[in-house]
């Protein structure tokens, strides 16, 4: 039987509108709440010293973690926690959770924006429009998305939203996941699983479009490297909506220049902002967006629901939603 846990004092650096706080406050009661601006480091360090729970609008760095002598649960109100998921978190038995999933629908839309931009050669279309050129570019255009096989690496919330949309486009779907599951998600024709000994290699060989929606960890760092680009079809596209270091950018550049793959679209890069001198900017078969996705309706409302659920689960001594573990730790390269 799970052991119940109490919450006496909470630090919040969430920058929410009053309407959301009005809904969350009764959930947190009777705990005392201390507020601080997440960018006011001295105030955060002073406040975090004697709280049980920290609800943060950004990441928790090692300075904050070292000051947090009593904290038992930290929630970071965004998705990828590679900058927060320190080994020390798990060494101390602290629970770490995220708001993963709050932007999943628009991230999935972004995948198809990048894919269709590559298929329809949107850069050439824009050049023609700017030059007032009426020209049929069908001879430059690849076949449409329908019947192309899409391989989705990472079947979390964003990955599953991508699967839904790929089904609507009439695309056969392959999936790769870390954790074994009892059922295969609707629309996925074949599921590969790390816990069952599968690698991403066969998925890469069979896919016309490879979509990365996996989290960044030491395990997924440079998951797509020179060897794996060599497994992909020369007609394939790579779309990265996960984190930049999941892809070896030097290998990506070589694969695009040497036509090992047909093109790539990415919203994330190993160094952000992407340096002006990066050769990726000038590749005709590369579509770049600057880690920016359209807003989703009531994103904070989604976070509110996750935190509310997790307050209840925490007090009941149960596993929390979006709870991180040691497999999610990222220590390679800059965070």
CA angle 47, 69, 51 (to 5 degrees): 40
Active site residue 327: no
Q: Is 43 exposed, middle or buried (0-12, 13-18, 19+ CB in 10 A)?
A: middle
Q: Which residues pair with 53 in a beta bridge?
A: 10, 73
Of 147, 71, 164, give the one whose Cα is nearest residue 112.
164
DSSP string, 123-141: HHHHHHHHTT-----GGGP
Q: Pick from 318, 315, 311, 303: which is nearest to 79 by CA?
A: 303
272 noted as active-site residue: yes
Q: From the candidates 75, 86, 110, 243, which is the catalytic residue?
A: 243
Q: Which of 272, 312, 315, 326 is catalytic?
A: 272
Q: Where in 172-212 does DSSP place strands (E)?
A: 173-177, 188-193, 209-212
291 is catalytic: yes
Provide the edge-to-edge strand list for the sheet that holds 32-35: 32-35, 9-12, 53-56, 73-76, 95-98
Kindly name the residue from 5, 38, 167, 291 that is annotated as catalytic.
291
Greatest C-alpha distance within the chain: 71
Annotated catalytic residues are 243, 272, 291
């Amino acid at each position: 039987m799970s052991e119940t846990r109490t919450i006496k004092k909470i630090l919040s650096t969430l920058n929410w509108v009053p309407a959301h706080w009005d809904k969350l406050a009764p959930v947190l009661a009777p705990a005392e709440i201390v507020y601080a601006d997440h960018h006011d480091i001295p105030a955060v360090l002073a406040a975090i010293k004697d709280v049980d729970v920290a609800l943060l609008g950004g990441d928790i760095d090692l300075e904050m973690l070292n000051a947090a002598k009593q904290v038992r649960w930290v929630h970071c109100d965004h998705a990828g926690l590679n900058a927060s998921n320190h080994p020390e978190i798990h060494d101390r038995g602290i629970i770490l959770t995220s708001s993963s999933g709050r932007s999943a629908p628009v991230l999935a839309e972004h995948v198809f924006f990048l894919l269709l931009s590559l298929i329809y050669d949107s850069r050439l279309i824009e050049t023609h429009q700017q030059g007032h050129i009426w020209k049929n570019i069908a001879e430059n255009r690849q076949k449409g998305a329908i019947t192309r096989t899409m391989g989705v690496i990472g079947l979390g919330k964003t990955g599953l939203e991508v699967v839904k949309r790929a089904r609507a486009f009439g695309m056969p779907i392959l999936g790769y996941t870390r954790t074994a599951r009892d059922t295969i998600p609707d629309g996925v024709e074949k599921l590969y699983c790390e816990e069952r000994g599968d690698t991403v290699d066969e998925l890469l060989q069979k896919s016309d479009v490879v979509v990365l929606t996996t989290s960044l960890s030491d395990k997924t760092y440079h998951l797509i490297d020179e060897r794996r680009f060599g497994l992909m079809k020369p007609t394939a596209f790579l779309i990265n909506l996960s984190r930049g270091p999941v892809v070896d950018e030097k290998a990506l550049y070589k694969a695009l220049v040497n036509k090992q793959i047909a093109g790539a679209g990415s919203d994330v890069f190993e160094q952000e902002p992407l340096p002006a001198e990066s050769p990726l900017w000038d590749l005709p078969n590369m579509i770049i967006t600057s880690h920016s996705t359209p807003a989703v309706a009531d994103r904070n409302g989604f976070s509110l629901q996750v935190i509310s659920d997790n307050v209840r689960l925490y007090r009941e001594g149960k596993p929390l939603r979006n709870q991180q573990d040691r497999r999610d730790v990222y220590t390679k390269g800059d965070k």
